[in-house]
Amino acid sequence: MSSKTKQRISRILLYILIVVMAIWMLFPFYWAVNSSFKSEQQLAMMPTTFVPRAPATQDISFYLRNYEAVLTNQAFLRAIVNSAIVAVSVTALALAVGAFAGFALGKLRYRGKTGTLYVILAMTMFPQIAVLSGLYAVINRFQISAISSLVLTYLLFSLPFTAWVLTSFFRELPTEIFQSAQVDGASPFQTFYMIMLPLTAPALVTTGLLAFIGAWNEYLFALTFTSVQPDARTLPVVIANFPSQFSQQIPFGEIMAAGVLSSLPLILLVFIFQRRIVAGLTAGAVKG
């Protein structure tokens, strides 16, 4: 076999692998979209169909009532607002506080630095489940509203993450900039605020995106802390415990429609900011 045919074969194999991989990654989401366009009758068809078909004629027929039902479902609409409020607040808070810490950890010299780095890294892995009952008790005792308690407690994972990722970004900025600003008479805080922070704007976007996605998708705290306050439920909680409007059975069609709608913003973000997200994810985990 000549090396050229060999190359061609490995090329073909690569493309087969790519196609298999793409199907594997996307198929469940495709199936959700497919099911979201099916009526209850169509969902009950055996065997199931790869596109929505009418049970009697097997003609392709899309059913739109699921989306209609979801978009007029008060619980779902409120959940979108709740999720947005919580995720945006957490992201803003985590960035504001985490950028300070990241700058100190990444660029400043002080006693006890290694210890603080260890604490932040350990906190990025802190298991939420370990403090669930403790936080629940505090929230009950002080009667903190569900939304505020979510914003507050989500800092448990988003703040250490933000600080850690920003640390690695700050560290990469050339120290000369920092030093020459100091020589020019700028105080360290001025240097941070006027020179370093603008330079890390791209890193802030990356980190903010990841913090936002993390908060948008969080389930354990949301489920626990909104258990007595259904008004405050966020999207994951509503989707996991979907209130049925019309049917007695689990309303899978509506759940799929709601799931597709609440994943779309994230998928959009992923496609727009793919490079940044990857950079942020790997900065958090790989760079020491």
Window 88-107: residues binding another protein (CB under 8 A): 97-98, 100-101, 103-105
130 sits near another protein (criterion: CB under 8 A): yes
113 sits near another protein (criterion: CB under 8 A): yes
Q: Which is nearer to another protein, 35 or 231 (CB)?
A: 35
219 sits near another protein (criterion: CB under 8 A): yes
208 sits near another protein (criterion: CB under 8 A): no
117 sits near another protein (criterion: CB under 8 A): yes
Q: Stretches 11-19, 59-67, 68-76, 197-205: which one binds another protein (CB under 8 A)?
A: 11-19
246 sits near another protein (criterion: CB under 8 A): no
195 sits near another protein (criterion: CB under 8 A): no
Write the Ramachandran bin of 58: left for phi over 0, alpha for psi from -120 to 50, otherwise beta: left
Q: Stretches 25-33, 56-64, 66-74, 197-205: which one binds another protein (CB under 8 A)?
A: 25-33
User: Site residues for another protein, window 55-84 (CB under 8 A)?
Assistant: none
251 sits near another protein (criterion: CB under 8 A): no
Q: Stretches 13-21, 54-62, 65-73, 198-206: which one binds another protein (CB under 8 A)?
A: 13-21
1 sits near another protein (criterion: CB under 8 A): no
The Cα 14–Cα 21 span in angstroms is: 10
Q: Which is nearer to another protein, 64 or 285 (CB)?
A: 285
Copy the structure tokens of residue 274: 């793919």
User: Site residues for another protein, window 132-191 (CB under 8 A)?
Assistant: 132-138, 140, 152-153, 155-156, 159-160, 163, 171, 182, 187-189
Q: Stretches 29-37, 52-60, 62-70, 198-206: which one binds another protein (CB under 8 A)?
A: 29-37
The Cα 96–Cα 193 span in angstroms is: 12
Cα three-residue angle 199-204-207, rounded to 5 degrees: 145
The Cα 128–Cα 125 span in angstroms is: 9
Which of 9, 26, 60, 71 is close enough to bind another protein by CB under 8 A?
A: 26
Backbone angles phi, psi at 60, to 5 degrees: -65, 130
Which of 51, 71, 81, 220 is close enough to bind another protein by CB under 8 A?
A: 220
